[in-house]
Amino acid sequence: MTSAFSLRHITLHGHDVVYRSAGDGPAVVLVHGLTGSSTTWREVMPALSERYRVVAPDLLGHGESAKPRGDYSLGAHADGIRDLLVALGIERATFVGHSLGGGVAMQLAYQFPERCERLALVASGGLGREVMLFLRLVSVPGSEYLLDLVLNAPLHDAAERIGSVFRRLGLGLDPRGAEVWRSYSTLSTHQGRQAFIHTVRSVIDIGGQRVSAMDRLYLAEDVPTMIVWGDRDQVIPVSHAYAAHRLIPGSRLEILEGAGHFLPWLDADRFLPLLVDFIETTKAAVNTEDGFREALVGHIPDAWER
């Protein structure tokens, strides 16, 4: 990560919120996924900052941000990002969300439509029921006790010592492994594990994802929207991309052949040009409360009005 994207701190509601930011111009807000952080976007931030003002927060409970006992719902995360943007003097932005961050980005666009100029959903949660088995198992009551056993500080420290030996021998982790290790590191503390558990349970149960934006995707009709997915995603199936594309009139669908779930860093060379082209070739939405009301009321069937 370049020095221009060094971590910055701000206190919001008594909690330390960490973010990275650089560049000038129209704002682009990058929202990472579960157990991720602003480092999710390290491969795309430098190039984006040459054209735009880029802001990439560590969501509460993730990365270097505080991990309080509190609300980790999509709505709470959306509120937190809105508050950060207000503090930074950013009125409107293009929201880009990966995985859980896609659900947060959609929630931002729903709760604060006047702030959303465009929406880019990258292997996004909240667009269907299916999700990988591990996350469904984490939602089961009692799973936190197992995590306390296998994801604790002594084991993390021992693994770090072994890893340092391999790195000295030139046998470091590949990019995917390095990102997984960073994610694991955030779960080596009790507070990190608790935040992880609360976040998972806010959106997932044993049957799969329990929070869905599918019933209100019609509200994105006037917001330029791009959906990007890997056709070999093993975390959230690519079928969700096609379903969302059908429900958002005028949306742009990009399927990356041979790609998995972690597009922002493992497939940055293909993802970045798509994102820049999407921003450059679309006109920023200008949403108002009256326009939101018209879209909302216009979708209510006559039978409901009676």
The neighbour count for residue 250, using CB atoms within 10 Å, is 12
Q: Which residues are catalytic?
A: 99, 233, 261
Spatial separation of the C-alpha atoms in residues 42 and 152, rounded to whole Å: 27
Asked if residue 30 lies in contact with residue 272, where contact means CB atoms within 8 angstroms, the answer is: no
Query: Tokens at residue 17, please?
Result: 């919120």
Distance in angstroms between the alpha carbons of the first and the last residue of the chain: 57
The helix or strand, by DSSP H or E, that contains position 157, with its residue range, turns out to be helix 153-168
Spatial separation of the C-alpha atoms in residues 31 and 122, rounded to whole Å: 10
Query: SS3 for 226?
Result: strand
The helix or strand, by DSSP H or E, that contains position 86, with its residue range, turns out to be helix 74-88
Spatial separation of the C-alpha atoms in residues 97 and 31, rounded to whole Å: 5
| Reduced 3-state DSSP string for 107-132 | HHHHHCHHHEEEEEEECCCCCCCCCC
Query: SS3 for 202?
Result: helix
Spatial separation of the C-alpha atoms in residues 93 and 2, rounded to whole Å: 23
Q: What is the CA radius of gyration of the chain?
A: 19
Q: How far is CA 52 from CA 19, 44, 118, in A?
A: 16, 12, 14
Give the single-character DSSP code of 41.
G
Query: SS3 for 58?
Result: coil
Asked if residue 289 lies in contact with residue 118, where contact means CB atoms within 8 angstroms, the answer is: no
